[in-house]
Structure 1
Amino acid sequence: MTSILITGGQGYVGSTLVRQLAARGVRVTVVDNDLVPGARISDPRVTYVGGDIREPGEWQPALRGVDAVIHLAAVVGDPACGLDTDLAWQTNYLGTVRVAEACQKAGVTTFVFASTCSNYGATENDEEVDVWSPLNPQSVYAQSKIMAEHYLLSLGGSALTAHILRFATVHGLSDRMRFDLAVNVMTAHAVTRGEVAVHGGRQWRPFLHVQDAAKALQAATDNTSPTLYNCGSGEENYQMAQIGEVIAREVPGTRVVVQEEAADPRNYRVNFERIREARRFQRRFGVVDSVREIRDAMARGRYLDFADAKYSNFLTAQNALAATPAPGAARAFSPAASV
């Protein structure tokens, strides 16, 4: 691939992916609404285009000469989607349809879609789930991603080939940093408060470093037939209490407080053998690496303002919606960014 368009390329995963592609000499076009400033890089191979993914007319000319589209733009996370469920559906489902349609009109044949392991929702008896397991979404975020998957899978007979990656929970440092992700915020609390709160503790969750997530997206553009993979690594399935223990080991003096009454209903332990065997996907980093890099960055004085709204999808979306001047002016929160 010599030219790739990324929707939501200023987001947490997107900004990392843009850096990786530019370093490889790939020509990158980013479609984003610039909701989160400061996540752009200065590189002659990278072009930024403003626009709303629901309105392809604003950015469709940027598809000319593009080999593949990596679609990351979304309202990301359960709390952010809960602020305005209609907007979440319009963005995560209808927006995906609009981007795919624009790709078909422009003759783009490769479409990579970022989905989520949250689609599995709540499982029982600590069973391990794979891509054939029943889906049990617990939020509008997961529901909208599932419907977008269904639409893309229905394109099997068209010239547009869809590749779907259900990502584990991401973590680690990024140009568009987030501290509303479990590993990141728990580490920040350990550094600044000497305490980590674990909600529930027994529920399972898979984790994936943001650098590895970006690598997987790149690799997906090389597929020639439709694919659906869980994206992560089996050894990075953790119960949330174990995450607290890892952080406590890496940040000396940290006290782990288990809050059983605040348990997250989501519970899923995921099988990633399919992507390992078929695509030879191997993670490079783990949870412990993110804990160390965030700990060390904060020791150097970075991210001491980690509670700022700019590091939270929920607070960023909430502020954008509050700034909307009138009920009919939802475009103030133009969802082109995977915030």
Structure 2
Amino acid sequence: MRVLVTGHHGYLGGVLTPMLRAAGHDVTGLDTDYYADCLLGPAPAAVPSLAMDLRDVRPEQLAGFDAVCHLAALCNDPIGNLNPELTYEINHRATARLAEAARSAGVSRFLFSSSCSLYGAGTDDRPLDETAGFAPVTPYGESKIRAEQDVAALADDDFSPVFLRNATAYGFSPRLRGDLVVNDLAAHALLTGEVRLLSDGSAWRPLVHVEDICAAFLALLEADRGTVHGRAYNIGVTAENYLIRDVAELVAEVVPSSRVTFAGGASADARNYRVSCDLVAAEVPGFHPRWTVRKGIEELVEAYQRYGLTIEAFGSERHQRLRRIRALTEAGRLDAELRWSTR
């Protein structure tokens, strides 16, 4: 297929783009490039790309594509909280406009990178499946709900959306995100000797390796349309739901001479949920997740050592998305609407 990947210079995109190419697909990227130079190790091989803001995409730019894998977004809760209205504009309304443009251009498949954060504050002890109610606790989570609803309304005989509700990601990518919990705990354990918890560790969280998320995109891209049309899937493995304190203990086991510590005033995290990923396992036989959190911690530690990561670099704007956005804004390179004023 001829596939457009939005956000191909991001954390997920840096893994998905090479995976799609290796599977034989013709890939083009689209990215405004907030994070293009935020690398740890070599950059992935370049692909043809459109350097543009998601908010400006028109149907003519999507002509000739068979599918869109839509990853681009303001990527986490802290950035979303900076300006909730801007979060809704980019993550919700720009996503809906992108889907409308794709349908107008004759794109047949639209795979949307949603999030299990839309479940928010789970109130049930059982893992939540795709029929569970939503209880978002942040603008980021709410924006994903609104985007799903608007894109779902566009589904017809010619336009087939699928919604990937990703569990919390971890694992190595050339454009590493240090603000993800497993990535963060592994880095601090290796580089400081402390597995530093900012909460009390009592929250549940589903966790999934970045490569497994990308493998799900590939499997759903190639899946039978009649099976997956208009469907939402929790992406991960049901057995990979963890209490955050148990993740910290795993990190301490993997990283010699490290110990679990708690930040002063650590309290419970409002984001607390487990999810069932049984539906994707049952309906998408081409999806074969390979990773566990323990294996992912081992991979991260090896990559951090191989590329000479320091604690100063890990905490810098290179690997912390919120710090990157703030740095670009304070330098006058991004305006208040997070559009480039200077490159």
Both proteins in one fold, TM over 0.5: yes
Letter in 1 for 2:266: E
Give CA deviations for 1:203-255 in whole Å, capped at 9, x if unaligned: 10000000111110111112412211111101110000110111011001111
Cα distance change on mapping 1:81 and 1:226 into 2, 3 Å: same
Shift of residue 201, structure 1, vs aligned partner: 1.5
Letter in 2 for 1:202: S
Structure-2 separation of matches of 1:333 and 1:137: 33
Q: Is 1:321 matched up with 2:329?
A: yes
Structure-1 separation of matches of 2:127 and 2:338: 41
Shift of residue 286, structure 1, vs aligned partner: 1.4
Shift of residue 261, structure 1, vs aligned partner: 3.2
Matched residue, 1:286? 292
Q: Is residue 80–residue 318 contact of structure 1 (8 Å, CA) maintained in 2? A: no
Matched residue, 2:64? 65
Ranges in structure 2 where 5+ consecutive residues have no aligned partner: none
How many residues end up aligned between the 2 structures?
329
Matched residue, 1:276? 281
Structure-1 separation of matches of 2:201 and 2:320: 23
Larger relative contact order (C-alpha < 8 A, sep ≥ 6)? 1
Letter in 2 for 1:12: Y
Matched residue, 2:271? 266
Q: Is residue 165–residue 234 contact of structure 2 (8 Å, CA) maintained in 1? A: yes
Cα distance change on mapping 1:295 and 1:147 into 2, 3 Å: same
Matched residue, 1:337? none
Structure-2 separation of matches of 1:249 and 1:333: 47
Structure-2 separation of matches of 1:155 and 1:62: 19
Structure-1 separation of matches of 2:334 and 2:63: 35
Q: Is residue 320–residue 333 contact of structure 1 (8 Å, CA) maintained in 2? A: no
Structure-1 separation of matches of 2:49 and 2:335: 29
CA RMSD of the aligned region, Å?
Answer: 2.0
> When the two structures are superposed, what TM-score results if normalisation uses the length of structure 2?
0.90
Structure-2 separation of matches of 1:203 and 1:333: 40
Cα distance change on mapping 1:134 and 1:295 into 2, 3 Å: same
Identity %: 34
Matched residue, 2:206? 206
Letter in 2 for 1:214: C
* SS of aligned partner of 1:310: coil
Structure-1 separation of matches of 2:99 and 2:238: 31
Paired residues for 1:171-210 under 5 Å: 171-198=170-197, 199-210=199-210
Ranges in structure 1 where 5+ consecutive residues have no aligned partner: 335-339
Structure-1 separation of matches of 2:281 and 2:337: 45
Letter in 2 for 1:205: R
Cα distance change on mapping 1:151 and 1:254 into 2, 3 Å: same
Matched residue, 2:240? 236
Q: Is 1:308 matched up with 2:312?
A: no
